[in-house]
Amino acid sequence: MNQFDTIIIGAGPAGMMAAISSSFYDKSTLLLEKNKRLGKKLSGTGGGRCNVTNNGTLEDLLEGIPGNGRFLYSVFSQFDNHDIMNFFEDNGVKLKVEGHGRVFPTTDRSQTIIKALEMKMLENGVSIRTGCEVVSVKKSEELFHVKTAEQVFTSRQLIVTTGGKTYPSTGSTGFGHEIARHFKLEVTDFEAAESPILTDFPHKKLQGISLDDVTLTYEKHSITHDLLFTHFGLSGPAALRLSSFVKGGETAYLDVIPQISSEKLADYLQEQREKSLKNALKEIMPERLAEFFAENHNIKVKQIPQKELEGLIQYIKALPIPITGKMSLARSFVTKGGVELSEINPKTLESKKIPGLHFAGEVLDINAHTGGFNITHCLCTGWVAGTQLPDSY
């Protein structure tokens, strides 16, 4: 059979959820994915554990989606992060909430999430074709003609969920933007969002250290969140969030203990004066960091001259890190830019110009912070696009 009610291009979170809702509404549904496996990019999120959503309030969600989050009011009124959590729990996936509202499967494995989506699609009778790249799309006589290397499929509804342009090795190469342009829809310019930051920081000893809730300040912007020192610089949510302000050539300052003021740190060190500096510091920060700060002071706190101790406190509270730039679009986590939202009906995600053509997920001009916010908008827009019935166009 080559004719379906709905064809979906791209099996990321948006496409798989669109296939589930489309088939839930009894439409014959075909999902086409060029990779051999489903959800390749999704499997790498949350450090391979799949950060499937965020359990925050609607306000938290909108704050977590700085790139056009407000377009999603209507979508979230139909399907939101709580519906995502209910969906997975109802389908046998136990979830847990970690810091900053991030939701993961209790197995800590992305495959748990991807398998649950796949099983639901199969249960609902979705036809899934993997290793099947769409090469062109046309519309004539109310039908979309979707061409792959081997055959042409037709449908009255087409949902494009081909993702953004980051990590092209996962399959997201911007094909959906070409479809939009083919139908004369505007596509906004692309920019890297949520990019790891490149630094000229000579302290190799810090590589691999991951810190919870530290404050990173760059010019007038300050972010308190988790941070990771890597071989190229900084990653983790604090760096990714700050990256949108980064131009390069300035210095960022890191406060590794924002919950302890400089005055309190001075008092604390006085109390610990009989201890070595390293032993005093390791009570209030990870041992490798304590070692780093105590590197040139292998002595007791009381032996450190007062002026030097004051300088050290300043250094700990504002560690200077010269920033040289940020990763390119291809090596960033999220794409800023995509199908222009004024082209799209926010209630149905259908193109205003081309009846039956829908877009969902990162292919749209929506970008969010990591922490489950991208996956949330992808799953929710996917669900809503899938619910639209052929009679409506």
Ligand X SMILES: Cc1cc2nc3c(=O)[nH]c(=O)nc-3n(C[C@H](O)[C@H](O)[C@H](O)COP(=O)(O)OP(=O)(O)OC[C@H]3O[C@@H](n4cnc5c(N)ncnc54)[C@H](O)[C@@H]3O)c2cc1C
Q: Give the binding site for ligand X (CB under 6 A).
A: 9-15, 32-35, 40-42, 44-46, 51, 133-134, 161-163, 166-167, 171-172, 175, 333-334, 361-363, 370-375, 378
What's the min distance (Å) between Cβ of 372 and ligand X?
5
Nearer to ligand X, 173 or 251 (CB): 173
Q: How far is the CB of 379 from ligand X (least distance, A)?
A: 8
The C-alpha angle 84, 128, 91, rounded to 5 degrees, equals 30
Quick one: 215 or 370, whose CB is closer to ligand X? 370
Distance CA 9, CA 114 (A): 17
Nearer Cβ to ligand X (62/318): 62
Instruction: Give the residue with the Cβ less far from ligand X, 171 or 337.
Output: 171
Structure tokens at 92: 């046998």
Q: Which residues pair with 364 in a beta bridge?
A: 339
Provide the minimum distance between the beta carbon of 332 and ligand X in the complex, in angstroms, as a whole number.
8
Residues paired with residue 6 on neighbouring β-strands, in sequence order: 29, 157
Residue with smaller CB distance to ligand X, 71 or 175 = 175
Shortest distance in whole angstroms from residue 127 CB to ligand X: 14
- Nearest to ligand X of 21, 51 (CB atom): 51
The least distance separating ligand X from the CB of residue 244, rounded to whole angstroms, comes to 15
Cα gap 314→262, rounded to integer Å: 7
CA distance linking residue 311 with residue 217, whole number of Å: 19
Q: Name the minimum Å distance from CB 304 to ligand X.
A: 41
In angstroms, give the least distance from the CB of 47 to ligand X: 8
Q: Which is nearer to ligand X, 15 or 356 (CB)?
A: 15
203 CB contacts (<8 Å, ≥6 apart)? 292
Q: Closest residue to ligand X, Cβ-based?
A: 171
* Nearest one of 163, 108, 102 to 372, comparing CA atoms: 102
Q: What dihedral angle (degrees, nearest 10) is formed by the CA atoms of 347, 351, 354, 360?
A: -100
What's the rounded Cα separation, in Å, for the pair 323 and 274? 37
246 or 380, CB closer to ligand X?
380
Instruction: Determine the 3-state secondary structure of 6 from DSSP.
Output: strand
Tokens in use for 83? 């519906």
Q: What is the nearest approach in angstroms of ligand X to the Cβ of residue 227?
A: 15
| Six token digits for residue 207 | 């590589």
The residue among 190, 189, 198 whose CA lies nearest residue 243 is 198
- Least Å distance between CB 230 and ligand X? 13
For residues 381 and 271, give the distance between their C-alpha atoms in angstroms, rounded to a whole number: 55
Long-range pairs for 76-79 at CB < 8 Å and ≥24 separation? 76/380, 78/380, 78/383, 78/384, 78/387, 79/379, 79/380, 79/383, 79/384
Specify the residue for token string 């081997």. 150
Q: Which of 101/372 has CB closer to ligand X?
A: 372
